[in-house]
Structure 1
Amino acid sequence: MVSVAHASASTPSIGILGGGFMARVHSRAARSAGAALEVIATSDLAGSERAAAELGFATAADPDDFFAHPVDVVHVCTPNRAHAQQSLSALEAGSHIICEKPVATDSATAGRVLERAEELGLGGTVPFVYRYHPMVREARARIRRGDTGALLTVDASYLQDWLLDPDDENWRVDAGSGGPSRAFADIGCHLVDLIEFIAGQTITALAATMRTVHPRRGGVPVSTEDTVALTVEFSGGAIGSLLVSQVAPGRKNGLVIEIAGERESLRFAQEQPEQLWLGRRAESRLLVRDAESLSADAARLCRVPAGHPQGYQDAFDAFIADSYAVFAGEQREGVPRLADGLRAVTVTEAVLRSAAERRWVEVEQP
């Protein structure tokens, strides 16, 4: 019997910083993994009390008093600018961390978070949860065992439309809250992480261009980008093109990756996560999720029988369960760690530099 992602002897106590959408996703996943939901803090005590009542936490804390409540794991689900300091505070308090991306808005600070965790012997993970779709693991396994042959090209995009109109606003639009990059730091980093995870190769150089489609939102000037296009080179010799947009009408969460090898192509689309397209010169076919026919790593993430769809929350639940397991000293495959979070910030900085200087740039390697 293949071990499943949510099977672990660890039942940690947890606290969450933040009370928005991601805090809700984290809390559902934590409950699924058997964690004790101890304390939550939002921007003020009244908000903390509402969130505790809604999400089932034992204690609502004022944000200044959050770390007076010791827990095994702190989930950081606040705006980007707060991530690094809150992560460092959690580590100093003796807690492992699960920090929403980006770990920090610059690579030097993200590196300090990683270094401090290592110094204290504590763990940290980052929710690159698209790794946890079983068909993503199957694509990775096929490349690893050589089914595709040498990789040639990557064609990938991540398209959304939730910031399509000039009156669409969100804290991420403000560089003061979200950091110097928006579209790429928010969703482009997921795309890069997933490509590198599946392909087993890293981006070594890139040429990027970006646009701010709406220079003002709600009457306020905007400095962060709406769209990004990249040409990339990989460590194994493949080349590729990536498109990222938060202003693509009709696209809700259109993350699509197609990787072509010498013998076989693979295509994964996050909005149809139960299938993997396989293409060869003589044929093409759809491989559907069925634990009986998948690699061991993909099969362990199948939480329900074939024909019963799995989705985003299932992937998130598996990520959280794996995080708790590795914090408890267990071995789990493909868990995105703080080093992966640092990698995402490093690539984001390369994208910003390339776009600003209008040239190819080398990407620092892990």
Structure 2
Amino acid sequence: MTTEGNVHAPGVGQQLAGPPRATTPQGGRLRVAVVGTGMIAAVHVRAARAAGADVVGVLGRNRERSEQVAQQLGLEHGYADLDAVIADRPDVVHICTPNDQHHPQALAVIRAGINVVCEKPLAVSAEQADELERAAAEAGVVASVPFVYRYHPMVREIRSRIADGQLGRLLAVHGHYLQDWMLDSDASSWRVDSGAGGQSRAFADIGSHWCDLVEFVTGEQFDSVSAVTDIVHPTRPAASGPSFSGTPDPDPIADAGERAEVTTEDTAVATFRTGSGRIGNVVISQVSAGRKNRLWFEVDGMLGSAAFDQEQPESAWFGNETGAQIVVRDPSQGSPDQRRLAVVPSGHPQGYVDAFAAFVADTYTAVTTGTAPEGLPTFADGARSARIIDTVVASAGDRAWREIR
């Protein structure tokens, strides 16, 4: 697809913010530490191991929690605090803590000259995210954000066809990201608390993924937005339990009899204008029954359309005026980028875990070689996402169109 915007421009995440310093670890294997002990921390540990790193330790809320999870995951160290992590001098630190901790923890790691992977949203405000982007560039460290849906091979196939002009001029983009884990009025998590999660919940958590993916695929950024949000349950338990299953040993859930006012959204609808003036629209929900993780988008061009469903990641839909076809992932054909990420033969399913491992592997390649593989999402992308989140919240607050700076 050709557009009037910057097709696959560096602002969409093509390059690292500043020249990274290559690291040559002893024995050729990176030493990695993980900060956080929840579900996503366990995903990071598995992905780091799959990428060939030695995961040397984990940091939880205190030494006891750290040692408990380190034993469960077979790690050498359960750290007492972040200072102990930094003193151990790992090559990379993965930060997988609640959102309000991202900024201070990532900043400390960067200032120590250590490469960092930080979960999204990168920070609870655009200002904090911008500071992290600048700090990483000044320090010359690799700093990436796991917008891992970029790493589904069929996403890369769609992106390649758009860049080659096969869909023609952009006409519209639309989609949704639907989950149901907050459907019950008694469901809760630290994410509900704006102090820990930030002023946005659903959009910051999953809307950020949709926006990053669409900008990455089309090569065109959103310039402005008009948004509305809704809170479907005015109160929820004042609890801090796990967000999803899969945590090695979930923290205990507080007494659900105590309820707190909810100030973060369950649903959001955002309409965007792109750089070329076209319209984009997305529905975000964490209360859609039966939808576990349905990230779906469609790009409509003058010559054809393309759609991707993350719950069916092995294929992509392509349409034109005479019909439509389903294209299945196949490492023996398709775009070079799709073939690079298609690590098993066609018909042997790849999914989220494989996408996450590919993202981590690309991050480690940037660390060891000093060159970021094409498409690696960096702190520049995390800061961009934070600006979109803040603008969506502002637009919903005053019910007006807002420019995304």
State the TM bucket, normalised to the shorter chain: over 0.9
Equivalent position to 1:60, from 66, 78, 97:
78
Equivalences for residues 1-366 of structure 1 within 5 A: 11-64=29-82, 65-218=84-237, 219-328=259-368, 329-364=370-405
**Could you say what secondary structure the match of 1:304 adopts?**
coil
Amino acid at match of 1:202: Q
Give the structure-2-normalised TM-score. Answer: 0.87
Give the structure-1-normalised TM-score. Answer: 0.96
Please state how far the C-alpha of 1:316 moved relative to its aligned partner.
0.2
**Could you say what secondary structure the match of 1:83 adopts?**
helix
Contact residue 96 and residue 119 of structure 2 kept, 8 A:
yes
Contact residue 275 and residue 286 of structure 1 kept, 8 A:
yes
Amino acid at match of 2:173: V
Q: Return the alpha-carbon distance in structure 2 between the equivalents of residues 152 and 15 of structure 1.
A: 45
Q: Return the alpha-carbon distance in structure 1 between the equivalents of residues 371 and 125 of structure 2.
A: 31
Q: Return the alpha-carbon distance in structure 1 between the equivalents of residues 53 and 394 of structure 2.
A: 41
Q: Return the alpha-carbon distance in structure 2 between the equivalents of residues 138 and 66 of structure 1.
A: 39
What do the CA deviations read for 1:168-188 (whole angstroms, capped 9, x no partner)?
011100001101100000000
Runs of 4+ in 1 over 6 A off after TM superposition: none
Amino acid at match of 1:16: V
**Could you say what secondary structure the match of 1:153 adopts?**
strand
Q: Return the alpha-carbon distance in structure 2 between the equivalents of residues 261 and 213 of structure 1.
A: 35
What do the CA deviations read for 1:109-154 (whole angstroms, capped 9, x no partner)?
1111111111111110000000000000000000000000001011
What do the CA deviations read for 1:289-331 (whole angstroms, capped 9, x no partner)?
0112210011000111100000000000000000011122134
Contact residue 298 and residue 306 of structure 2 kept, 8 A:
yes
Query: Larger relative CO (CA 8 A, sep 6+): 1 or 2?
Result: 2
- Percent sequence identity is 45
Query: How many aligned positions are there?
Result: 357
Please state how far the C-alpha of 1:11 moved relative to its aligned partner.
2.5
Contact residue 209 and residue 229 of structure 1 kept, 8 A:
yes
Q: Return the alpha-carbon distance in structure 2 between the equivalents of residues 115 and 241 of structure 1.
A: 31
Q: Return the alpha-carbon distance in structure 2 between the equivalents of residues 246 and 195 of structure 1.
A: 20
Q: Return the alpha-carbon distance in structure 2 between the equivalents of residues 331 and 341 of structure 1.
A: 16
Contact residue 167 and residue 303 of structure 2 kept, 8 A:
yes
Contact residue 331 and residue 343 of structure 2 kept, 8 A:
no
Q: Return the alpha-carbon distance in structure 1 between the equivalents of residues 203 and 345 of structure 2.
A: 35
Contact residue 72 and residue 94 of structure 1 kept, 8 A:
no
Contact residue 173 and residue 300 of structure 2 kept, 8 A:
yes
Q: Return the alpha-carbon distance in structure 1 between the equivalents of residues 303 and 133 of structure 2.
A: 39
What do the CA deviations read for 1:1-32 (whole angstroms, capped 9, x no partner)?
xxxxxxx9963111110011111100001001
Please state how far the C-alpha of 1:167 moved relative to its aligned partner.
0.2
Please state how far the C-alpha of 1:67 moved relative to its aligned partner.
2.2
Deviates more, 1:249-258 or 1:59-68: 59-68
Contact residue 39 and residue 69 of structure 1 kept, 8 A:
no
Contact residue 331 and residue 344 of structure 2 kept, 8 A:
no
| Structure 1 unaligned blocks of 5 or more | 1-7
